[in-house]
């Protein structure tokens, strides 16, 4: 049985209650969540010796979670990642969205889902967040109803299920934007931790981090994580995608993807602590962002400022700019359809 505590973390200037939920299993491992952006605040799991540490980056105060650059631990939307020039055409009509990242649209715009206070509730041993996004919200078409369900198991498996329904044709791409450091969120650089991805291709980006549409083989490039290697091994290589992102900030294409099927994405492993995070998902891609611009973010829960590359975001999602790339898996959602995606982070030790 999972124990769930619920406390008021504070109140917004508008008087909205910010709730903090803590889900704890019988091993004492826990996940803390907030209704700001339906976000992950902490993940406390044991190392190989049973010592607990918080492996998810986060902030000291609830108000820091609003309008932060890193989108720390939250669910961005309606469309996670980028849409080129903030424009897309659906059923013959062009929609123009905010250009909030170098002339492009990022994470649903300035008032995206990550900056909203969601409705929230406890359902037996899970936490559910719900949001109603009205027609025209950030200039997206259609009234959209969204739910994000978090389940935490006795085996330290965090399952995130993302649902959406719409009243009119629209586009949707949801994920979670947690940053991980398996040695502990206050332990410094994540570059020595090993990453493995079941991905033979990645999406080539232009200078604005918008996919060209080309699926590029990872073989013989610094983007090859088919066998585990330290994140930092090739991060400074003289390679165009790494220069564009100031490190890793690309979307990999999951091998064997089938719509609606859970696939093995890969894993993150820390040889010092013995912690391993196994990732599975129904999504076609995974964005790996090595926190190249974390410096300058709000004060962390450890009381210091994170440095660049102190954490890695592993965001299972649809492909960026999919509305403008007909060859990519579609991001279109229509009335009567159910958007349903699953992301699983399973924490183990060697």
DSSP helix/strand/coil, 243: helix
User: 115, 79, 113: which is closest to 97 by C-alpha?
Assistant: 79
Task: Note whether 338 and 260 are within 8 A (CB).
Answer: no
Residue 153, phi then psi, degrees to nearest 5: -105, 170
Task: Note whether 156 and 53 are within 8 A (CB).
Answer: no
Cα(333)–Cα(109) distance, integer angstroms: 19
Catalytic option among 104, 105, 177, 201:
177
Active site residue 315: yes
Q: How large is the greatest C-alpha to C-alpha distance in the chain, in angstroms?
A: 59
Which string of b and e fits 15-48 if b means at least 16 CB within 10 Å?
eeebbbbbbbbeeebbbbbbbbbbbbbbbbbbbe
User: 250, 252, 239: which is closest to 197 by C-alpha?
Assistant: 252
Output the CA–CA distances (angstroms, integers) from residue 71 to 89, 120, 158, 336, in the order listed: 27, 19, 19, 30
Secondary structure of 47-84 in HEC code, one letter for each residue? CCCCCEEECECCECCHHHHCCCCCCCCCCCCCECCEEH
How far from chain centre, in Å, is Cα 35? 16
Residue 136: which residues within 8 A CB-CB, separation 6 or more? none
Which helix (DSSP H) or strand (DSSP E) does residue 347 occupy?
strand 339-349
Which helix (DSSP H) or strand (DSSP E) does residue 240 occupy?
helix 240-245
Residue 155, number of CB atoms within 10 A of its CB: 11
Catalytic option among 138, 185, 193, 315:
315
Which residues carry out catalysis? 177, 315
């Amino acid at each position: 049985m999972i124990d769930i505590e619920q406390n008021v973390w504070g109140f917004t200037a508008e008087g909205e209650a910010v709730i903090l939920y803590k889900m704890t299993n019988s091993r004492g491992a826990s996940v803390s969540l907030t209704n700001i952006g339906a976000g992950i605040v902490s993940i406390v799991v044991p190392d190989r010796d049973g010592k607990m540490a918080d492996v998810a980056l986060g902030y000291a105060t609830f108000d820091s979670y609003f309008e932060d650059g890193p989108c720390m631990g939250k669910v961005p939307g309606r469309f996670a990642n980028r849409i080129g020039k903030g424009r897309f055409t659906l059923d013959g009509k062009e929609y123009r969205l905010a250009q909030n990242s170098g002339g492009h649209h990022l994470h649903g715009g300035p008032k995206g889902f990550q900056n909203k206070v969601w409705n929230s509730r406890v359902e037996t041993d899970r936490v559910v967040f719900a949001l109603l996004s009205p027609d025209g919200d950030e200039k997206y078409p259609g009234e959209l109803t969204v739910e994000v369900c978090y389940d935490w198991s006795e085996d330290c498996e965090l399952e995130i299920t993302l649902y959406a329904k719409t009243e009119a044709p629209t586009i949707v791409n949801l994920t979670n934007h947690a940053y991980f450091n398996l040695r502990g969120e206050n332990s410094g650089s994540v570059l020595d931790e090993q990453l493995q991805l079941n991905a033979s291709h990645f999406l080539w980006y232009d200078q604005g981090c918008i996919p060209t549409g080309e699926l590029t083989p990872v073989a013989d490039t610094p983007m090859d994580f088919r066998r585990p290697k330290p994140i930092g091994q090739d991060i400074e290589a003289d390679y165009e995608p790494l220069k564009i992102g100031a490190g890793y900030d690309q979307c990999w294409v999951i091998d064997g993807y089938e719509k609606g099927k859970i696939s093995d994405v890969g894993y993150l492993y820390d040889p010092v602590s013995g912690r391993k995070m196994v990732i599975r998902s129904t999504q076609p891609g995974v964005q790996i962002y090595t926190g190249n611009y974390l410096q300058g973010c709000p004060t962390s829960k450890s009381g210091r400022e994170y440095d660049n590359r102190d954490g890695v975001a592993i965001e299972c999602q649809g492909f960026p700019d999919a509305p403008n790339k007909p060859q990519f898996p579609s991001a279109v959602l229509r009335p009567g359809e159910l958007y349903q995606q699953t992301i699983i982070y399973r924490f183990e030790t060697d």
